[in-house]
Structure formats: structure tokens, C-alpha cells
Amino acid sequence: MSKIWVYAEVSNGKVDPTALEILTKARDLAEDVEGVVLGPGATEAASVLGEYGATTVYASDDPVYADYVAQPAAHALYQLIQQHSPDVVLFAMNYDSRDIAGRLSAKTGSTLMSNVFEILGSDRAQTGIFGGATLVDVDLQGSPKLLLVRPKSFEPEPSGGSAKVVPVDIDIPDELKKSRRLERHEEAASGPRLEEAPIVLAGGRGLQDPSNFKLLDELASEIGDAAVGATRAVVDAGWVPYAMQIGQTGTTVKPGVYLAFGISGATQHIVGMKGAKKIVAINKDEEAPIFQIADLGIVGDALKILPQLIEEVRSRKG
Amino acid sequence: MNIVVCVKHIPDPNIPGELEGGRLKRSGVQGVLDPGDEFGVETGLQLKEAHGGEVTLVSMGPPTAMEAIRRGLSMGADKGLLVSDDALQGACALVTARVLAAAIKKSGPFDLVIAGVESTDGYTGTMPSTLAELLDVPQVTFVKRLDSADGTIRADRQTAEGYQVVESPLPALITVTAGVNSPRYASFKGIMAAKKKPVDNLSIGDLGLSSEEVTSMQQIASVGSAEARKAGEVIEDDGTGAQRVAEFLKEAKVI
Ligand SMILES: Cc1cc2nc3c(=O)[nH]c(=O)nc-3n(C[C@H](O)[C@H](O)[C@H](O)COP(=O)(O)OP(=O)(O)OC[C@H]3O[C@@H](n4cnc5c(N)ncnc54)[C@H](O)[C@@H]3O)c2cc1C
Ligand SMILES: Nc1ncnc2c1ncn2[C@@H]1O[C@H](COP(=O)(O)O)[C@@H](O)[C@H]1O
């Protein structure tokens, strides 16, 4: 493969960590690895991309890319692609990138593959179905190939390199400035971030009532380095904010230990946590699919076990 | 307000999926309207109730996909449009978007196109954005709350950290999440009425698309099993379950 591009999101001055994972992988695949980053903070982000293997980074700090949904970025990317002809463009399977890549596919007329687990060559990539239990290799056509890669598919490793920054100066026509972000709200939880925490405690519908999530918070603060997550079932029910959702449409986690309380183990949940080193599941139904992937399974009532576990952890800490 | 809702017919997700040639088996499998698209239909119906107009359902799929359209019609949508063609089997997201874009253009002017965030069976999550580009309209994805007035929509758009408030003029395309509303049930009266509502059947030829435009650009090369995670020990809680978990955590050096 001759030239791979990695599109990197930047927000609040921070480069999306998935971009660094993808860059690390791209280094194995091509001589020429380049980055594209658009929006406030882009120029600074470019140097981080350089540390992870991008030799050239096309960057623009223009706020238009953050203010308006998808259209300006898709427009700019398309222009850049026409000028520089990359063979493959890699994106993280995140909110904004998904929107941009979708529009870009219509412009380039080339294929866009979602949920990529592994990149096998310039025209082949792998995805998983049934929660990742079955792997499917897919041949891709058209140019450039557009791939949306699932977060945490690769381990990020700095290359010790640095990037040449090429400023992007593309005029965005007014008719692409329509869908506008007016406000940004963060529902930040206390403690470590879900995607970075070494221990994740996740609750599902089996916790019976939103107020019981307090038990998970309490256990998390007893353990210290733990974050609390949830299934889509309880997020949709409004028990906890969406930012806590783990799975296909939520956050992908890869902690040292993952504890599931009252979670059935639907494939869409498993795809977001199967990378955990150790899995512990507590479920009162011995047939629950989550037990098939758990290193330790307890068939029992999560609401009885949680307060006991808080006590156990507290007493063992001393 | 003229509203178009994308509805996908999928194998019943409550029946364990089977593979056929590397794809989810569809023929001979009980199908349903994608539960994710019920939120789209409900969104369309609520907008129609508030602003007047019509709700048109569009779907691409085999002739049995008519079931999904009938279901949406029985919830209260006005008419349907189904594109069926053998050549479309295994269509990738781009091809699907081309077909739906052509069908929507053919059905007349619209104010809003609504789709699900991702389908339950295919979950590429990109078809709607590609469709928005082909229709040349702005998009607001991941909508979890929606207001509409005077030719403008304002929505809460879910993000990884929380949400954004996004505003867009119409015409536009939105994708809705499962949190946006509670889809209504079809009443008996609705089911009876749906049988008389108009549904257009179209093939690729009717849409003026070339065979190149509708050829999937993704082919399954091979299918294999991932290295299976082995199930560990599963024990019945006899009062010592919490203790066992704590020991496990200690061994894993997290406490
Ligand atoms: C397109 C799409 C995307 C999706 N994306 C996601 C996603 O990103 N993340 C996600 O999580 N889901 C996702 N889902 C939903 C997924 O299919 C499941 O519906 C969901 O994960 C189930 O959540 P749950 O385990 O909390 O609930 P349930 O499946 O209802 O399971 C509850 C479990 O709790 C157990 N239980 C009940 N009481 C107790 C008790 N007292 N003690 C112990 N155990 C108890 C029950 O035995 C049961 O196993 C998606 C679905 C679709 C269609
Ligand atoms: N064949 C189809 N017919 C109608 N709508 C579709 C079709 N495929 C996808 N969609 C719509 O696009 C959304 C996202 O689908 P996907 O890109 O497959 O994840 C779905 O929720 C539907 O609203």
C-alpha cells in the first residue's frame, strides 16, 4: 500500500486517542502515513500525530469545522483527496467521523466499511458479527477505500517521529454551513474516564432501579481506579446518561477487569467490552450469555451481592 | 411538512441469527420492521400531528420488506415506497443510499428525511449520512430530542461526552436514537386502514440507476471464528459470592 491517511478528531485541544491507535497500525501497512486534522487545535494536534507516525499532517484551525456538522469537513477532505490521492483513508468509528465519512463516500463514490476490527491490506479489512465471535474478511473496491475502525482495535505506540505540517486553506461555501452546533454539554462523571479506567463496573437492567446505580458508584470509589458503565437498556430507560453506555453504539472499553452486574450479555454489548483482560459477571439467570465469556461467574442477586462486595473490598483494603 | 421515513425490514432480532454465504440469512427467516426505525416512524407521525403534511415510508429490500412498510402504515404513516430488485442483494451502504436517494427524489419534494442511527442487522451507521450528501441536504445525527418550528429544526444530538444542541434549516436529514420517543402501537383500526394505503413498487429500472451504480463495492472474502474466550468458573451464590469476587479482584491485583 503506498499512501494511507488517518483522519483525526480534535476537541478541547485533545487528539482523539483512537487516531493514535490507527496511526500505529497504519505504520505497519504503508511507507507513507499522513494525517488530516480539522478544527480548532488542529495545528497543535498535528505534532502529536507526528509522534505516532504521521510524516505529513494537513491541518486547519478554522472553527467552521467544529461549528457545522459534517459538511465542511467532508468538503475539505474531498478536495484534499483529489489533490493528494491517498489509497486508503482511516477514520475512528466515532460520532463526527462517522458522519463525515458517510458524506465523503457519496462524493468519492468509493466504498466505506464500518466497524473495522483489523486492516488486512489495501483492499481487504475485517469486521466481526455476533459480538465479534465470527470474523468476516471483506474485499473492498473503489478509491480511496474509506474505513471506520472501532476504537481499541490496536495498541497505540509512539514512533518517535515528527510531522511536517501543511496548512489547509479551503474556502467553505455558505451552502455547507447549515447544520450548526449552538451548545455543547458534557455529562462528565467523577473518577477516571470510562475508556481509560483499568477497572470497569457496569450495570444493566438487572439492577432493577436507577437508584441502585449508587451501589456501583460506591464500589467504584472503594476500589479507587474504577469507572461505572451501563448497558443501552438502562441508558434508553433514562436511568443513567448516555455517556456511560458501553457497546456497539457506546464506548468501547478494554480494562484489566470488567465486572457486569445484572447484564445479559447481548452481542451489541459484548462487542464493546470483549477486550477486557478479565471478566466477572453477576447474574441471577444461569443461562445468561454473559457467563459464556466470563472468567468468574456468580449466579445470584446483584442487589444482595453488591453491598456485601463493598464491605469485602473495604475490609481488604485496610 | 412532507416527511420521509426510511424503514428497513430485518430478520427478527429475537431469533438467533444464522449465516448464509457470510451474510445474515434473510430468506425464509421471519422478518420485522427494524425496531430502531419505529422511533423514526413515531418522530415522523408526531411532526405531522404538529405541523400537518404527509409521512412517506421508503424501504429497499426484497418483496417481503412490504411487511415493514405495512407496519409503519398501520402506525399511521400515509404511503409507502418499496424498491425491490434481485440485483440489490448484498448491497453496501453506498448502493443502498443511492437507491433510497433516487426513490426519495422520485417521490417528490420533502422537508425532512428521518432514519435510524444504525440498523439492527447491518449497523454500518453510515447509510443516512451518505443519503444526506446524495440529497444535498444538511444532517443532524444521533437526535435524542427534537423541536421544529418555522422551517427550522433544533435537536439535542448525542455525543460521547454528553450532547450538543444543533440547529438546521429544512430540508434536512436526521437520524434518531432509541431515546427520542416511545413508538405507538398499531391499533386494530390502524392495521385495517393500512391495507388500503398506497404503496409504490419500484425496481432499479424505474429509478434510472445504472447497473454500475447499484453494484456492491464490498464482497465477503471469508468467514471465520474468532478465538473464543473460554467460559471460566460459574458458581451459585450461597452467601459467599461477594467474597469470591473480592478474592478474584485481589488476585488480579486491583484491590
Ligand atoms: C443497533 C443496536 C445497537 C445496540 N447497541 C448497544 C450498546 O452499545 N450497548 C448495549 O449495552 N446494548 C446495545 N444494544 C442493546 C442490546 O441488544 C441489549 O438489549 C442490551 O444490552 C441489554 O441490556 P441489559 O443486559 O441491561 O438488559 P437485559 O437484556 O434485560 O438483561 C438483564 C439481565 O439482568 C439479569 N437480572 C435481573 N435481575 C437481576 C438481579 N437482581 N441480579 C442479577 N441479575 C439480574 C437478568 O437475568 C438478565 O440477564 C443495541 C441494540 C441494537 C439493536
Ligand atoms: N435497505 C434499507 N431500506 C430503508 N432504510 C434503510 C435501509 N438500510 C438502512 N436504512 C436506514 O438507515 C439506518 C441506518 O442503517 P445502517 O447504515 O444499515 O446502520 C436504518 O436505521 C434505516 O433507517
User: Is there a contact between A241 and B169 if contact means CB atoms under 8 Å apart?
Assistant: no
The sign of the dihedral angle between the CA atoms of A299, A302, A304, A306 is positive
Residue whose C-alpha cell is 483527496:
A81
Task: Output the residue whose Cα is nearest ligand 1's atom 38.
Answer: A206
User: Is there a contact between B162 and A186 if contact means CB atoms under 8 Å apart?
Assistant: yes
User: Is there a contact between A299 and B132 if contact means CB atoms under 8 Å apart?
Assistant: no
Query: Are the C-beta atoms of residues B140 and B174 closer than 8 Å to each other?
Result: yes
**The predicted structure's pLDDT at residue B19:** 82
Give the A window 86-115 contacts with B, CB below 8 Å.
93-95, 98-107, 109-115
**For A129-142, what is the mean pLDDT?**
92
* Tens-digit pLDDT profile for residues A166-206: 999 999 999 999 999 999 998 877 789 999 999 999 999 99
Q: Mind telling me how many Å the CA of B76 is from chain A's nearest CA?
A: 24
Q: Is A251 on the interface with B (CB under 8 A)?
A: yes
User: Is there a contact between A106 and B217 if contact means CB atoms under 8 Å apart?
Assistant: no
Predicted confidence pLDDT, tens digits, chain B (255 residues): 999 999 999 999 888 888 887 777 877 788 999 999 999 999 999 999 999 999 999 999 999 999 999 999 999 999 999 999 999 999 999 999 999 999 999 999 999 999 999 999 999 999 999 999 999 999 999 999 999 999 999 999 999 889 999 999 999 999 999 989 999 999 999 999 999 999 999 999 999 999 999 999 999 999 999 988 888 999 999 999 999 999 999 999 988
Which one of the ligands is nearest to B160 CA? 1
**The predicted structure's pLDDT at residue A94:** 94
E strands along chain A, which residues? Answer: 3-8, 10-11, 14-15, 32-38, 56-60, 88-92, 112-121, 124-129, 134-140, 145-149, 164-167, 180-186, 199-203, 226-230, 257-261, 278-283, 296-299
Query: Are the C-beta atoms of residues B140 and B147 closer than 8 Å to each other?
Result: no
Q: Is B236 on the interface with A (CB under 8 A)?
A: yes
Give the A window 21-50 contacts with B, CB below 8 Å.
none
Which one of the ligands is nearest to B118 CA? 2
Query: Are the C-beta atoms of residues B41 and B5 closer than 8 Å to each other?
Result: yes
Among candidate residues A243, A45, A274, A28, the one with its CA nearest the CA of residue A152: A274
Q: Which residue of A has its CA nearest to B215?
A: A141
- A283 ligand 1 Cβ < 6 A: yes
**Does residue A316 carry a pLDDT above 80?**
yes
Angle between helix axes B127-135 and B93-107 (nearest 10 degrees) is: 40
* Tens-digit pLDDT profile for residues A77-113: 999 999 999 999 999 999 999 999 999 999 999 999 9
Q: Mind telling me how many Å the CA of A185 is from chain B's nearest CA?
A: 5
Query: Are the C-beta atoms of residues A265 and A133 closer than 8 Å to each other?
Result: no
Query: Are the C-beta atoms of residues A110 and A101 closer than 8 Å to each other?
Result: no
Burial class (CB in 10 A: 0-12, 13-18, 19+), A220: buried
Give the A window 50-79 contacts with B, CB below 8 Å.
69-71, 74
**The predicted structure's pLDDT at residue A72:** 98
* Tens-digit pLDDT profile for residues B137-148: 999 999 999 999
Structural domains of chain B ordered from first start: 2-207 (3.40.50.620)
User: What Å distances lie between residue A265 and A116, A268, A313, B24, B167, CA to CA?
Assistant: 21, 8, 25, 20, 37
In whole numbers, what is the pLDDT of chain A averaged over residues? 96
**The predicted structure's pLDDT at residue B219:** 95
Q: Is A148 on the interface with B (CB under 8 A)?
A: yes
**The predicted structure's pLDDT at residue A149:** 98
**The predicted structure's pLDDT at residue A1:** 64
Instruction: State the Cα–Cα distance between residues B255 and B248, nearest whole angstrom.
Output: 9
Whether the complex's predicted ipTM is more than 0.85 is answered with yes
Query: Are the C-beta atoms of residues A100 and A7 closer than 8 Å to each other?
Result: yes
Q: Mind telling me how many Å the CA of B126 is from chain A's nearest CA?
A: 5
**Does residue A220 carry a pLDDT above 80?**
yes
Which one of the ligands is nearest to A249 CA? 1
Structural domains of chain A ordered from first start: 3-176 (3.40.50.620), 199-317 (3.40.50.1220)
Nearest to B218 among A111, A148, A297 (CB): A111
Q: How far is the CA of A265 from the centre of ligand 1 (A)?
A: 6
Cβ atoms within 10 Å of A38's Cβ, excluding its own: 27
Nearest to A243 among B133, B161, B221 (CB): B161
Query: Are the C-beta atoms of residues A231 and A246 closer than 8 Å to each other?
Result: yes
Q: Which residue of A has its CA nearest to B143?
A: A95
Cell of A208: 432493577
User: Is there a contact between B223 and A135 if contact means CB atoms under 8 Å apart?
Assistant: yes
Ligand 2-lining residues (CB < 6 angstroms): B 6-8, 34, 36-37, 40, 59-61, 93, 96, 100, 115-116, 118-119, 122-128
Q: Mind telling me how many Å the CA of A224 is from chain B's nearest CA?
A: 8
Q: Is A311 on the interface with B (CB under 8 A)?
A: yes
Q: How far is the CA of B223 from the centre of ligand 2 (A)?
A: 24
Q: Mind telling me how many Å the CA of A69 is from chain B's nearest CA?
A: 7
